[in-house]
Amino acid sequence: MASSTTPVYVIGHKNPDTDSICSAIAYAELKNLLHGGGYCAARAGQINQETQYVLNYFQASAPQYISDVMTDVSDIDIRRTQGAAGDFSLKKAWNIMRALKVNTLPITDQQKLLGLITVGDIANAYMNVYDNCILSVAKTPYRNIIETLDAELLIGSMDAVFDKGEVVIAAANPDVMEDYIHEGDMIILGNRYESQLCAIEMNAACIIVCMNAKVSRTIQKLAQEHNCSIIVTPHDTFTTARLINQSMPISYFMRSEGLITFKVTESTEEVRKIMGEKRYREFPILDQDNHYIGMISRRSLLNLRKKQVILVDHNEASQTVDGIGFADILEIIDHHRIGTLETLEPVYFRNQPVGCTATIIYQMYQENGVEISHTIAGLLLAAIISDTLMFRSPTCTMVDRLAAERLSEICGVDIEGFAIDMFSAGSDMSSRSAKEIFNQDRKIFEVNEHKFIVAQINSMNTIELDEVKEKLIPYLKKKFDSFGVGMCYVMLTNIVKEDTELLCFGDDAEAVARKAFQLPDEMTDIVLKGLVSRKKQFIPSVVSVLQK
């Protein structure tokens, strides 16, 4: 059963035909009715004219297009670590990371990733020796200093920034202090009135009074007059001096150049490869608008959620949606020969010798006592008519006929009249390119070490098939080498005459066809009388030759 967040895709073969599309829609609908949702009809290619006519006629939406079912970052559990502001103190960042038990903290501004800071960066910032100007160079907010020192601000503004001067400990008497205190410095001192007065008169930017010592009203008034802030901390001088560097903003120490980020749509295989080349523990994830959304680590890949699919109308590995090896196949519903597809675990596999996958889907509605809607009935009927060539194909069984008749009653469609209109819509090739015609219904097969393509074009019009032939021959002669197969066949099937003219491409293609159908050498154009089915008539004959 599908989860509420990750759908199960019900999907047919590449270059989908009417059966592939309609069966996917109908079976997804059945699964949703039985299990309360979570199943999504999908397709692995473009919809042909015949199928589009069917969808328009029954006012059904096309299934979602999916180019592949490889896992991407969205299939990983992304840790939704909230981004920190760049003015957070080192101490605050450290405490956040300890609380979250993470090693890396993202720095963001309005969802935009500014940089990253790690536990190691904070440790280096604390352990490295800096000069006493580092707090002002880092432009440290007074708010951070007060927070880090658990202090109270007596005089001054919380929003001010310490951006000029040194941090000095006033351990000497006032006479000596005059030699090393400069305008704008921050002075750490105790409760000695003379020292406090000297620092203010030397135009210090701030005095930090330790041990919660009381500050006289006179000193407070003088500080106000000299624009000198007064901070009072409960810590002693040593602790204050040790802690104050932790108040610096993380933006000063963050890494902002050369960040390794991943988009939420990126392939996990690519992510895994990059992770293996980098020594970082964690990586930020961005959405399509480059907004930060969370973090992942190498460990995140261990709990990868594979995409879940149900295959309809095929079970050949070469015909499946790309990336099927990275997905979990839950079910296969088909009416073709058992092909080359392998699964890691047992699956529900329903394969019946009928003329159409839609016939099997119709049976499953009946078996589960689910009422078939007008739209679903129309789609299933169209699929059966299409795949059986209006019951002319030798693959057609009485089960197909009976299913079509019942579906016709449900949707109120006359079979013969609808079939003529549907086939006419599908065979209108005048405005289509050779590439579009060739790709509308082609499948790749593998037998032993032989790999070949079989495309089929159905029409009720001999003249139209001749025009298609004139378009395809030059195109396929030019493009054949780019297909990556040894042979290519095109079946030009005349539904009315119930025969097929066969076009052969590849060194061995014609010889295999002549042997498969025992054709005389003098036959120039290969016309196969009574052959209309790719599945039941053409493929078995070719396979028997290739297996020998």
- For the residues of 436-504, what is the DSSP string, one character each? HHHHTTEEEEEETTEEEEEEEEEES-HHHHHHHHHHHHHHHHHHGGGG--SEEEEEEEETTTTEEEEEE
The pLDDT of residue 5 is 66
List the beta bridge partners of residue 161. Answer: 141
> For 55, phi and psi rounded to 5 degrees?
-60, -40
Which has the closest alpha carbon to 395: 346, 447, 455, 337?
337
Alpha-carbon distance 326 to 305, whole Å?
Answer: 10
Which has the closest alpha carbon to 36: 8, 73, 74?
8
- CATH for 90-252? 3.40.1390.20
Q: What does the DSSP assignment read for 247-287?
A: GSBGGGT-B-SS---EETTSBHHHHHHHHHH---SEEEEE-
Which has the closest alpha carbon to 535: 395, 437, 359, 399?
395
Q: Are 312 and 334 contacting, i.e. CB atoms less than 8 angstroms apart? A: yes
Q: Are 283 and 262 contacting, i.e. CB atoms less than 8 angstroms apart? A: yes
Helix (H) or strand (E) holding 82: none
Q: Are 56 and 346 contacting, i.e. CB atoms less than 8 angstroms apart? A: no
The pLDDT of residue 129 is 55
The pLDDT of residue 200 is 93
Q: Does domain 8-71+307-426 bear CATH number 3.90.1640.10?
A: yes
How many other CB atoms are there within 10 angstroms of residue 271's CB atom? 24
> For 213, phi and psi rounded to 5 degrees?
-65, 145
Structure tokens that stand for 133 in this block: 């100007």
Alpha-carbon distance 106 to 218, whole Å?
Answer: 45
Which sign, positive or negative, has the C-alpha torsion 190, 192, 197, 199? negative
CB proximity list for 63: less than 8 A, separation 6 or greater: 11, 21, 24, 25, 28, 40, 41, 42, 43
Q: Which residues of the chain have pLDDT under 50?
A: 4
Place of tokens 């069984």: 397
DSSP assignment, residue 39? E
Which has the closest alpha carbon to 37: 60, 10, 61, 55?
10
Residue ranges of the chain that CATH labels 3.90.1640.10? 8-71+307-426
Alpha-carbon distance 206 to 485, whole Å?
Answer: 80
Q: Are 233 and 149 contacting, i.e. CB atoms less than 8 angstroms apart? A: yes
| Class of residue 383 by CB neighbours under 10 A (exposed 0-12, middle 13-18, buried 19+) | buried
Q: Which fold has domain 434-547?
A: Diaminopimelate Epimerase; Chain A, domain 1 (3.10.310)
Residue ranges of the chain that CATH labels 3.40.1390.20? 90-252
Q: Are 393 and 387 contacting, i.e. CB atoms less than 8 angstroms apart? A: yes
Half-sphere exposure of 292 (CA within 13 A, CB side): 27
Residue ranges of the chain that CATH labels 3.10.310.20? 434-547
Which has the closest alpha carbon to 331: 102, 34, 101?
34
